[in-house]
Homo-oligomer: A and B are copies of this chain.
């Protein structure tokens, strides 16, 4: 409880002290994994390589589709062998600005996150980190890519995740209408969106969704900005969208005080990442706005307010950097996907 109060007051303090922020052009990187071109190239190749899944049917991009909003627009993702995940896939776009990863914040870095799905039996399903390493070791072309990226051609899960994280740090969507508006282009947001922007603050959305990434105040890497969801439980939405079924961060920490707590997710590109919330239970953005206002702030918005806030949120869709398709290195005259 103490933690939550601290986090909340921090957020309010940060919010009131600061103006609207634009998205930085570069994402922070840990000291032991600076972003380099070679790591990004390797990371992109790995990100798109379905051979990191047990049966070769899924890559990172399958559920975190960078050709779209960075997720899969499904309530729960389907894994390589047809199983369903337990939470909705978060977007990979601008994930580099989140201080912790996963809905429950259980990974303290992009590096720590990247290995999760590869060895998760309901996701990519590799039996172990070792198995993933061995898979890649059998693809001759990767040797040179690892060598170029890390100075050593040793293929380890640490290097794999460092490379993927480096690629993800380039997945930034600047110049949304919101950003252009904040930078001075007063035509970038419509009148309705500007009213929505003011409402977004007045209603109290910014008490959590603050900062450049609309995911809370700047935290030290690995330190999460967590909030309870739902805060207010006595409303129709809690049952309708089954909001108490998932224990949230408690499932990661085992601590009762973490029940129903989640990392505050980014709202950037939110118009592209329906359905909404950890369980993907809400199909549309306007309904997500209604639910949030009621469950988090105990406010019943008018339809006009919902419309304006939704319009503002649509103004958070940024520009997606053009990328080339990676070439996946081959396995000359054989396959790793047949016993």
Chain A positions near chain B (C-beta within 8 angstroms)? 48, 50-51, 55-57, 62, 65-69, 72-75, 78, 81-82, 271-272, 274-275, 280, 283-286, 310, 313-314, 317, 320, 322-328, 330-338
Contacts and interface: CB of A to CB of B under 8 A. Distances in A.
A67 B275 contact: no
Contact of A55 (B78, B330, B337): B78
Contacts of A82: 81-82
- Counted per complex, copies of this chain come to 2
A283 B325 contact: no
Given A50-B65, A69-B330, A73-B56, A275 B338 contact: yes
Contacts of A72: 50, 56-57, 337
Contacts of A324: 322-325
Nearest to A286: B333
B75 A338 contact: yes
A51 to B, nearest CB: 8
A50 B75 CA distance: 15
Contacts of A55: 74, 78
Contacts of A69: 330
Contacts of A272: 330, 332
24 contacts: A56-B73, A57-B74, A62-B62, A66-B325, A67-B328, A68-B330, A69-B330, A73-B336, A75-B338, A271-B330, A271-B332, A271-B333, A272-B332, A274-B333, A275-B337, A283-B334, A283-B335, A284-B333, A284-B334, A285-B334, A286-B333, A314-B333, A322-B324, A323-B325
A72 B56 CA distance: 7
A93 to B, nearest CB: 12
A338 B332 CA distance: 41
Contact of A280 (B50, B313, B330, B338): B338
A13 to B, nearest CB: 31
A48 to B, nearest CB: 6
A57 B65 contact: no
A242 to B, nearest CB: 14
Contact of A327 (B313, B320, B326): B320
Contacts of A271: 330, 332-333
Nearest to A274: B335
Contacts of A51: 73
Given A57-B72, A280-B338, A310-B333, 10 more contacts: A48-B67, A56-B72, A56-B74, A68-B328, A81-B82, A275-B338, A283-B334, A285-B332, A323-B324, A324-B325
